[in-house]
Amino acid sequence: MPSQIQKIFSDAIIYTIGSVFNRLLPFLLLPIYTLYFPPAEYGIFSLVYSFWFFVSVFYLYGMETAFQKLFLEAGDEGTKKKIYSSTLILIFSTSVIFSIIIYFLSDFISAKITGSTSNGYLIRLLAFILLADSLYRFPMILINSIQRSKLYSFLNSIAVVLNVAINIILIVFYKQGIEAIFYSYLVSYTFLFIISFFSTTKYFALGIQSATVKHLLKNAHLFLYYGIFLISIDLIDRFILEYFKGSAEVGIYSASYRIGIVMNLVITGFKVAWTPFFMNLKGEEGNKEIFSKVFTYFCYGGLVVFLLFSLLADDLVKINIAGFTLLNEKYWSGLVIIPYILLAYLFSGLYLNLNVASFFQNKIKYLIISSAAGCVSNIALNFILIPRYSIIGAAIATMLSYMIMFV
């Protein structure tokens, strides 16, 4: 058991290092974004960014989790090859259709989410990003599933370095607006798909198996509902906040929300390592004791991170280095939400620990019920708290929603 517990946390550390680069991207670029873009403009970016992550759930329609689950349960290499090939071709086909629709409806979508058709060019850019975003995920999931954690982290790191470099060149040197952020994502995601795909060609063959697709879709639709509820909890507050308080308040909220990235890194690294770890222990004697120990150690680590950064975040953000602060002072009013966001991420990590039973018993409906409860409570709490407490109300609503899911 000690070796098993050591493995999950050593893998989690490696994945966290890879995720550090990936998830730290918006964090590292905050000094540039908040210096060069006023809150209202950054608020427009945050609204389009939120729309991106909400729509990506439909691009993937639960296939990420269904693919990984079936791939890990497959008994031989031939079956794994059929699952991977069928998934990738299916996702490519449906993503092209979705992106064409979004491209031609770009002005309409822009008017609905940003209040102006003038931002339609951002939605057209997003149509291409969503295609690349959907495709790169599956080679990376495969790499994760065969537990090649170092390769996974290396590829992520290369893509992030590329993204940061393009952001700096376009924003600092060429003085472009928020469209520069989207160009950077498009290039880095396309690059990541190409290199990750070539790293997994062993499992790919041209051709799609109808029986495999049916099996995937049978599992995927349940995870689609689960994904919609989870992504809604993370993003719906931006749109409600914009409705009541305006895009400038969304910009301040989103910038401060990103400071919680520290806890998110811990959760993301653990999440990536967790699924293949516990699935490979299915049926193993003594696995309950292992999961219990993992949960205990996760609580210890999560609480330490929460306490440290709740106490230090305010001072760290205001440190001035060569004229740069992590957040420009016009965004400092949002720092009050950081403890609530850190605690929200901690509850989401504790919730992840409890998902083992649903996967083992094939009772995904319990994940749907718990995430639906979190989503409904989040929407209700946002409408109750935001008009009176603004960004603090939005942060508290997110925290309480994850706590309800965990309970």
Q: What confidence tier does 2 reach under pLDDT thresholds 50, 70, 90?
A: low
Task: Point out which residues pair with 321 in neighbouring strands.
Answer: 324
pTM confidence score: 0.74
pLDDT of residue 198: 94
Give the span between the Cα atoms of 195 and 143, in whole angstroms. 12
Give the span between the Cα atoms of 151 and 14, in whole angstroms. 10
Give the span between the Cα atoms of 249 and 92, in whole angstroms. 37
Locate 318 and state its tokens: 């205001």
Cβ burial of 217 (10 Å; 0-12, 13-18, 19+) is middle
Phi-psi region of 144 (alpha: psi -120 to 50; beta: other; left: phi over 0): alpha
Task: Point out which residues pair with 324 in neighbouring strands.
Answer: 321
Question: Residue 43: is its pLDDT beyond 60?
Answer: yes
Q: What is the pLDDT of residues 231-241, one digit of tens each?
A: 899 889 999 99
Q: What is the pLDDT of residues 105-159, one digit of tens each?
A: 999 999 999 889 999 999 999 999 999 999 999 999 899 888 787 788 888 888 8
pLDDT of residue 147: 73
Q: What is the pLDDT of residues 171-228, one digit of tens each?
A: 999 999 999 999 999 999 999 999 999 999 999 998 888 888 988 888 787 788 888 8
> What is the Cα Rg of the chain in Å?
21
CB count in 10 Å sphere of residue 248: 17
Buried b (16+ CB within 10 A) or exposed e, 358-381: bbeeeebeebbebbbebbebbbeb
Closest CA to 72 of 84, 86, 62: 84
3-class state of residue 324 by DSSP: strand
Residue bearing tokens 């016009």: 330
Looking at the chain, the whole-number percentage of residues with pLDDT higher than 90 is 45
Residue bearing tokens 């060569």: 322
Give the span between the Cα atoms of 125 and 102, in whole angstroms. 10
CA 337, 343, 345 angle in degrees (round to 5)? 105
